[in-house]
Amino acid sequence: MTTGDARRPVTNSVTARWVGGWRCRVDAGGFGLMVDEPESAGGTGTGPMPTEYLLTAMASCYTLALAWAAGKRGVTLPDLTVTATGTYDGPRFCLLQLTVVSTADREVIERLVEPALRVCYVSNTIATSPPIEVTVEADGGRPASGSG
């Protein structure tokens, strides 16, 4: 989780480079990730789909948020796993579900659900749908000219 001064926003970026077909290579936090589509969709199946990375971000962030909330309360969550499931409706998910499993008592986990949601950056971002701005740059960073 990234934190910063409440008066100054903190940003984080990843960069995706198209490598052909339905594949791109993503540089994220010093790690190289491959994104692809399955062969049935015209890809090569050499990496997860972009939507699977979204679900990965959601599941992993919420897992860490649960662990943080548990730690703040002196609780342990043995064998903690979180599964994120997305239900497609056209070109978007119409439902996102998180399933939490642990050998801890159900009541212990249920008390952590809301505190973890409050600190989960990914869940909060998805729930509030920030605007998406697209900036186009061409020729080494110079703004593209609109000749016509």
pLDDT digits (tens, 9 = 90+) for 72-108: 999 999 999 999 999 999 999 999 999 999 999 999 9
Residue 3's pLDDT band, with cuts at 50, 70 and 90, is low
Residue 146's pLDDT band, with cuts at 50, 70 and 90, is low
Let me know the angle formed at the C-alpha of 86 by 81 and 89, rounded to the nearest 5 degrees: 175
Parse the chain into domains and list their residue ranges: 1-48, 49-129
Assigned CATH class of 49-129: alpha beta
For 116-144, how does the pLDDT look when each residue is reduced to its tens digit (9 = 90+)?
Answer: 999 999 999 999 999 999 999 987 656 56
State the chain's mean pLDDT as an integer.
Answer: 91
pTM for this predicted structure? 0.83
Say yes or no to pLDDT of 23 above 90: yes
